[in-house]
Amino acid sequence: MAPSLAGSVELTFDDGPDPVWTPAVLAALCGSALRATFFVIASRAAEHPQVVAAIRSGGHAIELHCHEHVRHTEVDRKAIESDTRRALTTLAEFGITPRRWRTPWGDQAPWTEEIAAAHDLELCGWDVDTHDWRGDAAEAMLASGKFGHELIAHRDATNAPVAIVRVEQLYPFPEAEVGAALLRYPNVR
């Protein structure tokens, strides 16, 4: 990650890869200098290896979301330890070693940080929720102008590709910043 994120927007997409919407996001990013980060569900990555390959070939980052999408506070520690190991093993089969972990719903139990540390994972969240999961139009997602460091979108967000294009238009960062990966677009739910 670049040393300074001042003036940048990081779009993150959770819960993919999806065989329809992830390629749509990749297509929206194609031809631009923008790069995304995809917080993937490892079981979906295993189901859609061609989408994982497309994400990587586009120069985008793949990080950990989970293997099964469960709230950490609704299961015991052993369940999350097992889920995390299984997800990391699945991603390792693709040659992917995540450094960041966004838990489902951002939900953390008292022991989530310990599990992250045991796997050398940085826990991360988001500043702005696009509410794409509600079906908001791209204009509504961007209308607030309250962009922070990380903007989250999800796999089934039909308006996410449009929102990505509009973010690029609204925030025309200098090429040097784009090239330094200050603008990132993670994974679509």
* Catalytic site residue from 14, 15, 18, 132: 14
Q: At 34, is the secondary structure helix, strand, or coil? A: coil
CA distance 24 to 162: 9
Distance CA 181, CA 189 (A): 22
Say how far apart CA 34 and CA 24 lie, in whole Å: 15
Annotated active-site residue 83? The verdict is no
For strands 37-41 and 61-66, give the pairing: parallel
Buried b / exposed e over 68-106, threshold 16 CB at 10 Å, is ebbebeeeeeeebeebbeebbebbeebebebebbbbbee
Catalytic residue (choose from 48, 67, 72, 154): 154
Cα separation, 124 vs 116, in Å, equals 11
Quick check: is 136 catalytic? no
* Residues acting as catalytic residues: 14, 154
